[in-house]
């Protein structure tokens, strides 16, 4: 027997590859090795789904038995062959020459590494998995939480109880990040009056590395050991230190490992301090000023916002930020700038010095590319953050969108997965699974849906019985729970964070109508509810308690179930088995809403408000929509759609028992939406639209010791110096044979005309994608002036001259015009 460097125990030599398999979190979405782990210890596998824990807890005798078992060894050899095929497959062809570094506050890869709270973490986990499948060179950075987010229990009164179990690293598929000396690598950060050391853990997600920073080191002061304690700690001081560790410490970790990134992806505003540390690194490497370094590195940063409302982003008191970054000899001094200048990067324009500091604003100002997570969310984000781009039209606030997607293999049911593996579905890209399922005949497709629903009902009965046992319910109540629900009944799912804007109580606005809907003897319906309320959200907890009490009404117990502790496992069971996924947010507060995407590959349908992704996806052939008016109107519409459309569509059957209209919708959804809203598509878009151009731009700006960055910073300073002296003169227009001829006088002070662009701007008309911009050509100098010119353009459209307004903007194509230098002059 030999001891694996990473294992806490010894493995017989034939079983040594198991350590490598257990350390690769690919087992969270690739189920080829499931039978391996189950055959080692079926009970432990069913309870933990953690191969690393299973390996470490097996008696030596059991491992010796397996090493001698020819069937087990053959099975292991087959899994290793499949893994070799995966690791040796061709990667996505890209122009990337350096790794992408991805920063996020949370990651939901699997329950064995529970470092997530909700949708942001699930999205980040799916991003890593899709990048691994595509072979994108990506390294992720986050925090290793000792407790993470809370686990949920519900008492007999429906009150949520938060439980914070300890995350023991020794039970997780993690390895310490070591220095060349073999010691644990430590990253230093300066805090007021003390030094903070953080170490890191390494998780493997297919071909992607996830690095997790940990402050729980005995040499740190007790108050600092808890920085990486709870995810989203409610204390502002702790929350700020968490974000400093992630941003400053995360970039320092990347450098300490000798990684030279190209693009840097900031996932939500918690990561904003990366901007400062990356700039500081460029200052040292190329002897740049802070402004020059920010100009250089900004081009390589991209920022993704997930927030649909300004109140949802962090805001720290300026005095608190000064405590950590503004003291004498501290971080601002290291950047060579006054703290007030640093603080302004996180404040609105013209804000008072003591205005709250928002890391999201820092991320926006430090990113060359900004995106929202759906088309509707981009519109909302441009309004929310428009104040950071004064004098620019909302339509030109530089926030594009890449709609989120979900990692299909992670959410596909085992029944759909087995059809794919058995050859009933062709072995093609993962996102082709929906199209292949859609090709199944009616009977086979309906049988598949029935098996998925039956598995969900079985799992839910087990969970419900356990919940009741924990609460001290009677044996009769537990026995009734084991018979709750019906595998042949239309099953609706609603699982969300219990926040007021999610409107989880729309169906409860008319309880009698809901009872009648669920208990209809001819066409019954059953409803599965899950979700957590933030520990400090009392209204959210009250909404949750309403559902718990409703589900415990004697006549509802067989038709409505509240499932405790909504996590990845519960989510997978729900999205794989429900017939209809319901989503009722108050528009426009749904940034994207990826949970509904997860039902697609399993043949589930969506009934959702037209917001987020569903505003892009909806068509009457693929599901149902609510129009998002007011709460009363939406509740009435929700009941009407369920009663008049969803229920009849499900229960109207042929003589052989097939709901043909329902299956047509399932097919249309599978074929039309699965690939379109997959994480594979999403990551491809990030590579092509964000990562590749960001890497090319930052490489150009840092070349030759940052020469380009110096030139751009000098240009920006020159433009700002002269901008207040620029002005427009007379504007005139006349109709000619060629169209509408427009001329305007422009006075450029001492600026070279080639550095400026004179444009005619017109707002978009209904049905147009964006505003109209026409560059005007420079004509003769104005007589009697040294820097005045006449500019002219001929407009061939039918719009009148009054629709157009002349403006001046910087003309250099290598400037990110709306981000740097944010200069625009309008004709008045």
Q: Is residue 417 part of a domain?
A: no
Do the bridges between strand 194-205 and strand 208-214 make them parallel or antiparallel, or are there none, so unpaired?
A: antiparallel
DSSP 353-420: TTSPB-HHHHHHHT-SEEEESSHHHHHHHHHHTGGGSTTS-GGGSS-EE----B-HHHHS-HHHHHHH
Number of Cβ within a 10 Å radius of residue 488: 10
What is the residue whose two structure tokens read 């499932």? 563
Are the beta carbons of 753 and 722 closer than 8 angstroms? no
Are the beta carbons of 481 and 466 closer than 8 angstroms? no
pLDDT band at 435 (very low <50, low <70, confident <90, very high): confident
SS3 301: strand
Q: Dump pLDDT digits (tens) for 543-552.
A: 999 999 999 9
* Minimum mean pLDDT range among 3-7, 16-20, 127-131, 443-447: 3-7
pLDDT, greater one: 816 or 362: 362
Same domain flag for 433 and 380: no
Same domain flag for 144 and 274: yes
Query: Distance between CA atoms of 432 and 84, rounded to whole angstroms?
Result: 22
Q: Is residue 711 part of a domain?
A: no
The DSSP H or E segment spanning 314 is none
Instruction: Domain count for the chain, please give it.
Output: 4
pLDDT band at 311 (very low <50, low <70, confident <90, very high): confident
Same domain flag for 201 and 304: yes
CA torsion sign for 176, 177, 179, 184 is negative
Same domain flag for 592 and 730: no
Q: Is the pLDDT assigned to residue 648 strictly greater than 50? A: yes
pLDDT band at 5 (very low <50, low <70, confident <90, very high): very low
What is the residue whose two structure tokens read 């409860």? 508
| Mean pLDDT computed over 208-220 | 97
Two structure tokens written together for 530: 């899950």
CA torsion sign for 335, 251, 398, 379 is negative
Q: Dump pLDDT digits (tens) for 587-596.
A: 998 999 999 9
The last residue of one of the domains, among 612, 643, 677, is 677
The mean pLDDT of the chain is 93
Most distant CA pair in the chain: distance in Å? 99
SS3 742: strand
Same domain flag for 73 and 106: no
SS3 144: coil
CB within 8 Å of 95: residues ≥ 6 apart: 692, 695, 696
Tell me what pLDDT residue 816 has. 77
CB within 8 Å of 336: residues ≥ 6 apart: 283, 289, 290
Q: Dump pLDDT digits (tens) for 23-38.
A: 999 999 999 999 999 9
Query: Distance between CA atoms of 811 and 158, rounded to whole angstroms?
Result: 62
Check which CATH number belongs to the domain holding 311 and give it. Answer: 3.40.50.2000
Q: Dump pLDDT digits (tens) for 747-804.
A: 999 899 999 999 999 999 988 888 999 999 999 999 989 899 999 999 987 788 899 9
SS3 460: helix
Q: Is the pLDDT assigned to residue 188 strictly greater than 90? A: yes
Phi and psi at residue 510, in whole multiples of 5°? -140, 85
Q: Is residue 714 part of a domain?
A: no
Same domain flag for 672 and 692: no
Same domain flag for 251 and 110: yes
The DSSP H or E segment spanning 252 is helix 250-256
Q: Is the pLDDT assigned to residue 233 strictly greater than 90? A: no
CB within 8 Å of 312: residues ≥ 6 apart: none
Do the bridges between strand 369-372 and strand 301-304 make them parallel or antiparallel, or are there none, so unpaired?
A: parallel
Q: Is the pLDDT assigned to residue 540 strictly greater than 60? A: yes
Query: What distance, in Å, lies between the first and last C-alpha atoms of the chain?
Result: 83
- CA 306-589-304 angle, to 5 degrees, is 10
Q: Dump pLDDT digits (tens) for 346-377.
A: 999 999 999 999 999 999 999 999 999 999 99
Q: Is the pLDDT assigned to residue 425 strictly greater than 70? A: no
Same domain flag for 663 and 692: no
Tell me what pLDDT residue 2 has. 36
Instruction: Domain of residue 209: give its range.
Output: 100-404+688-698
* Minimum mean pLDDT range among 108-117, 399-408, 431-440: 431-440
Same domain flag for 226 and 282: yes
| Mean pLDDT computed over 84-88 | 95
Two structure tokens written together for 459: 């799992």
Are the beta carbons of 420 and 436 closer than 8 angstroms? yes
Do the bridges between strand 264-267 and strand 301-304 make them parallel or antiparallel, or are there none, so unpaired?
A: parallel
Q: Is residue 452 part of a domain?
A: yes
Are the beta carbons of 825 and 766 closer than 8 angstroms? no
Q: Is residue 325 part of a domain?
A: yes
Question: What is the pTM assigned to this prediction?
Answer: 0.95
Q: Is residue 475 part of a domain?
A: yes
Same domain flag for 656 and 694: no
Query: Distance between CA atoms of 45 and 34, rounded to whole angstroms?
Result: 9
Tell me what pLDDT residue 1 has. 38
| Mean pLDDT computed over 638-650 | 98
* Residue among 534, 536, 544 nearest 564 (CA): 544
Half-sphere exposure (CA, 13 Å, Cβ side) for 828? Answer: 5
Tell me what pLDDT residue 7 has. 64
Q: Is residue 67 part of a domain?
A: yes
The last residue of one of the domains, among 87, 121, 155, is 87
Half-sphere exposure (CA, 13 Å, Cβ side) for 388? Answer: 26
The last residue of one of the domains, among 664, 698, 732, is 698
Same domain flag for 670 and 692: no
E strands present in 697-787: 727-736, 739-747, 756-762, 772-775, 777-781
Are the beta carbons of 359 and 270 closer than 8 angstroms? yes
- CA 47-51-52 angle, to 5 degrees, is 115
CA-to-CA dists, residue 390 to 294, 393, 772, 824, angstroms = 20, 8, 19, 9
Q: Is residue 703 part of a domain?
A: no
Q: For 132-147, give one letter per residue: b (16+ CB within 10 A) or e.
A: bbbbbbbbbbbbbbbb
* Residue among 590, 602, 571, 253 nearest 420 (CA): 602
Query: Distance between CA atoms of 65 and 443, rounded to whole angstroms?
Result: 44
CB within 8 Å of 429: residues ≥ 6 apart: 675, 680
Query: Distance between CA atoms of 637 and 656, rounded to whole angstroms?
Result: 32
E strands present in 466-604: 490-495, 525-530, 560-563, 580-583
Query: Distance between CA atoms of 581 and 563, rounded to whole angstroms?
Result: 15
Same domain flag for 81 and 108: no
Q: For 257-280, give one letter per residue: b (16+ CB within 10 A) or e.
A: eeeebbbbbbbbbbbbbbbbbbbb
């Amino acid at each position: 027997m030999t001891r694996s460097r990473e294992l806490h125990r010894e493995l017989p030599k034939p079983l040594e590859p198991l350590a490598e398999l257990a350390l690769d979190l690919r087992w969270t979405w690739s189920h080829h090795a499931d039978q391996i782990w189950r055959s080692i210890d079926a009970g432990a596998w069913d309870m933990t789904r953690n191969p690393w824990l299973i390996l470490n807890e097996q008696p030596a005798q059991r491992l010796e038995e397996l090493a001698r078992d020819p069937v087990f060894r053959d099975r292991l050899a087959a899994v290793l062959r499949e893994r070799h095929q995966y690791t040796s497959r061709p990667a996505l062809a890209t122009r990337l020459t350096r790794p992408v570094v991805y920063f996020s506050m949370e990651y939901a890869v699997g329950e064995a590494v529970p470092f997530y709270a909700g949708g942001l973490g699930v999205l980040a986990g799916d991003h890593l998995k899709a990048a691994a499948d595509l072979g994108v060179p990506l390294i992720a950075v986050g925090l290793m939480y000792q407790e993470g987010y809370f686990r949920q229990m519900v008492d007999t009164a429906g009150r949520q109880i938060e439980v914070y179990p300890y995350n023991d690293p020794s039970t997780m598929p993690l390895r310490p990040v070591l220095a060349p000396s073999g010691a644990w690598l430590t990253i230093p950060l300066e805090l007021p009056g003390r030094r903070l050391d953080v170490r890191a853990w390494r998780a493997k997600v297919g071909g992607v590395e996830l690095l997790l920073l940990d402050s729980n080191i005995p040499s740190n002061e007790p108050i600092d050991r808890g920085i990486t304690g709870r995810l989203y700690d409610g204390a502002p001081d702790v929350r700020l230190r968490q974000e400093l560790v992630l941003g400053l410490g995360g970039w320092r970790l990347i450098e300490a490992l000798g990684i030279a990134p190209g693009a840097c992806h900031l996932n939500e505003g918690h990561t904003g301090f990366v901007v400062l540390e990356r700039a500081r690194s460029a200052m040292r490497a190329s002897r740049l000023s802070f402004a020059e370094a920010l100009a250089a590195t900004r081009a390589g940063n991209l920022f993704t916002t997930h927030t649909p409302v300004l109140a949802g982003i962090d805001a720290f008191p300026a005095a608190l930020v000064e405590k950590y970054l503004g003291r004498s000899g501290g971080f601002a001094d290291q950047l060579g700038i006054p703290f007030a200048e640093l603080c302004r990067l996180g404040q609105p324009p013209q804000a008072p010095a003591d205005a709250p500091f928002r890391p999201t604003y820092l991320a926006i100002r430090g990113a060359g590319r900004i995106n929202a997570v759906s088309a509707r969310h981009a519109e909302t984000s441009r309004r929310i953050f428009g104040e950071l781009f004064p004098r620019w039209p909302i339509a030109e606030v530089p926030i594009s969108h890449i709609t989120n997607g979900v990692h299909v293999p992670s959410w596909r049911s085992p029944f759909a997965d087995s059809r794919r593996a058995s050859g009933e579905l062709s072995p093609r890209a993962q996102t082709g699974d929906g199209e292949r399922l859609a090709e199944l005949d009616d009977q086979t497709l309906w049988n598949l849906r029935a098996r998925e629903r039956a598995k969900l009902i079985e799992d839910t009965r087990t969970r419900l019985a356990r919940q009741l046992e924990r609460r001290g319910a009677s044996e009769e109540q537990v026995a009734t729970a084991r018979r709750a629900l019906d595998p042949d009944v239309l099953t609706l799912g609603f699982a969300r964070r219990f926040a007021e804007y999610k409107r989880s109580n729309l169906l409860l606005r008319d309880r009698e109508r809901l009872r009648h809907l669920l208990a209809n003897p001819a066409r019954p319906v059953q409803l599965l509810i899950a979700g957590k309320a933030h520990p400090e959200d009392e209204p959210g907890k009250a909404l949750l308690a309403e559902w718990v009490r409703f589900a415990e009404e004697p006549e509802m117990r067989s038709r409505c179930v509240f499932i405790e502790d909504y996590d990845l496992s519960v989510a997978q069971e729900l999205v794989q088995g429900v017939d209809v996924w319901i989503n009722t947010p108050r528009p426009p507060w749904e940034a994207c809403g990826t949970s509904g995407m997860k039902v697609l590959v399993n043949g589930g349908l969506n009934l959702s408000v037209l917001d987020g992704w569903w505003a892009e996806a909806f068509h009457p052939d693929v599901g149902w929509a609510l129009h998002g008016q007011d709460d009363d109107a939406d509740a009435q519409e929700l009941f009407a759609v369920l009663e008049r459309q969803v229920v009849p569509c499900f229960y109207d059957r042929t003589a052989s028992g097939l709901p043909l209209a329902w299956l047509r919708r399932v097919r249309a959804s599978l074929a039309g939406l699965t690939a379109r809203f997959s994480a594979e598509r999403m990551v491809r878009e990030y590579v092509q639209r964000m990562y590749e151009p960001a890497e090319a731009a930052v490489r150009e700006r840092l070349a030759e010791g940052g020469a380009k960055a110096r030139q751009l910073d000098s240009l920006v300073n020159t433009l700002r110096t002269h901008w207040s002296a620029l002005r427009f003169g007379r504007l005139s227009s006349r109709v000619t044979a060629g169209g509408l001829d427009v001329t305007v006088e422009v006075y450029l002070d001492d600026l070279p005309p080639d550095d400026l662009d004179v444009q005619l701007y017109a707002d978009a008309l209904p049905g147009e994608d964006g505003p109209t911009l026409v560059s005007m050509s420079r004509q003769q100098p104005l007589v009697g002036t040294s820097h005045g010119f006449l500019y002219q353009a001929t407009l061939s459209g039918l719009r009148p001259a009054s629709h157009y307004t002349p403006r001046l903007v910087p003309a250099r194509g290598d400037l990110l015009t709306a981000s740097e230098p944010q200069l625009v002059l309008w004709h008045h």
